[in-house]
Amino acid sequence: MKKMWIGGEFVGSHSEKTFRVVNPATEEILAEVPRGDRNDAADAVEAAAGAFEEWRFMPGVERADLLHHVAAACRHHRTELARLMTQEGGKPLIENLDEVEWVAACFDFYAQVGRDQKGRVIPPVQRDQFNFVVKEPYGVVACIVPWNYPLLLMAWKVAPALAAGNCVVIKPSEYTPLSTLRMAECAFSHLPSGVVNVVTGYGVEAGEPLTTHPKTDLIAFTGSLATGKKVAGLAALGMKKINLELGGNDPFIVCDDVDLDVAVRGAVWAAFLNMGQVCTSAERFYVFESVADTFIQKFVERTRALRIGDPLGPDVDLGPMIAEFQRKKVEDKIEEGRRAGAKVLCGGQRPPGFAKGFYYEPTVLTSVDHTMPLMKEETFGPVAPIMVVKGIEEACRLANDSIYGLGANLYTTSLEHVFYAMERVKAGTFWINDPLTDNDAGPFGGMRASGFGRELGSEGLEAFRDTKHVHLDYKLSSKPYWFPYDWSKARKTE
């Protein structure tokens, strides 16, 4: 049985209960993991709080060196971590090898950014004064991480939080805790005891106590809108700071001035990467009518050519979905679209030949419109509904016809189309001719129901630092505007 990582050591749960981690490709049990409870969450928070004073005052260059060590350890154990993520999450090994490298790059980035500056000096309002702004860590950060990118989305929270001087408690998804526990052992164990802690378990039993514990100061959460609302409500009771990334329903606009072969390849990848289980997946396509028939034909051809199979490979593009519940949600949504008039051009079923595993064929639909939930709600699965539009104005109007605003994609060679769409579509990230590419130096996050706060970039560091204004009068003297007031100098009024 695996154990949790609390206070620099592996421990079992107070509850003495466990849960099973299942391989979504084979449905085999990989391991049993402690089913953490309120007491385990409290232990982890106390460990983090106890380590905070030492960690926050550690010189920046020393903290940076420790974070670079995390990055180096990730690279050293890259294959092992990637295989573990593939076994517990179903994402193809080739994608998880990339994920581990992105994790390492994130820790390297914040190792440097975290020691770049601690605030700024501002001009005083009087003589003999000095004013400066200091950035300080909050204290204990609870990092609640989803299953689709278990190490990357953890790193986006933990790396800047640590660089800012906070200590953290990580609550991984109950579907993918194994890679996080292994990373605690191979990449976090050199950190001072209590700086990083990992509590495994279910949201209500382990995540909610982390959110409500009086010594957690900030909650960083990635997940569904419904759960995000609950996290926000619980955090508000304790006046805690929160960073929320709550998914999306990203539009993908294809204009009539592009190389369709390139656009189709980008579109298929944006739709079906990790079986569409990506918060920034392209979930609805708007294609100019003059090229729609050709685009749809090429899109279907490339979708049918995708290889489904064992995510450990080789020669596989798509693995299984994470679990039966997620596959069933997709099936229900496609059936709902069919009943409303949508046409399935390919996919729309479980692939033959797979007795085990949560596999589903990548699906392309047409004859869709905005009365269908497919076009306005997050699907989080391998589904690509394509709608024909007359031009950029209609495409942008429809792109905004959703409560979400996480990302948006545009394929065009027209600068006029670029600026028209960029200035009008509500999205935290706007990709032009290159879908889903992230940049550690650029902020990531959503608008509207996709949440608030930012990860990555300098904004990602700021999300984990509080602001203090220091006003210093270095020449001790009385001020003429103190008591008692000199009324003779007051302006006389008629």
Catalytic residues: 245, 279
Bridge partners for 468 per DSSP:
134
Cβ neighbors of 224 (< 8 A, separation 6 or more) are 246, 247, 378
Sheet holding 129-137, edge to edge: 119-122, 129-137, 465-473
Neighbours of 9 (CB within 10 A): 11
Bridge partners for 121 per DSSP:
132
C-beta separation of 284 from 252 below 8 A: yes
Bridge partners for 346 per DSSP:
364
Neighbours of 121 (CB within 10 A): 10
Helix, strand or coil, per DSSP, at residue 427: coil
DSSP state of 167: E
- Token output for 469: 């204004």
Q: Which of 440, 452, 99, 135 is nearest to 278 (CA)?
A: 99
What gap in Å lies between CA 388 and CA 371, rounded to an integer? Answer: 15
C-beta separation of 298 from 345 below 8 A: no
What gap in Å lies between CA 315 and CA 99, rounded to an integer? Answer: 19
- Token output for 440: 């550690």
Token pair 């060590």: residue: 69
What gap in Å lies between CA 378 and CA 16, rounded to an integer? Answer: 36
Peptide bond into 314 cis (omega under 30): yes
Q: Which of 319, 280, 316, 359 is nearest to 86 (CA)?
A: 319
**What is the number of H-type helices and E-type strands within the chain?**
14, 22
Token pair 């997050």: residue: 378
Q: How far is CA 317 from the centre of its chain?
A: 23
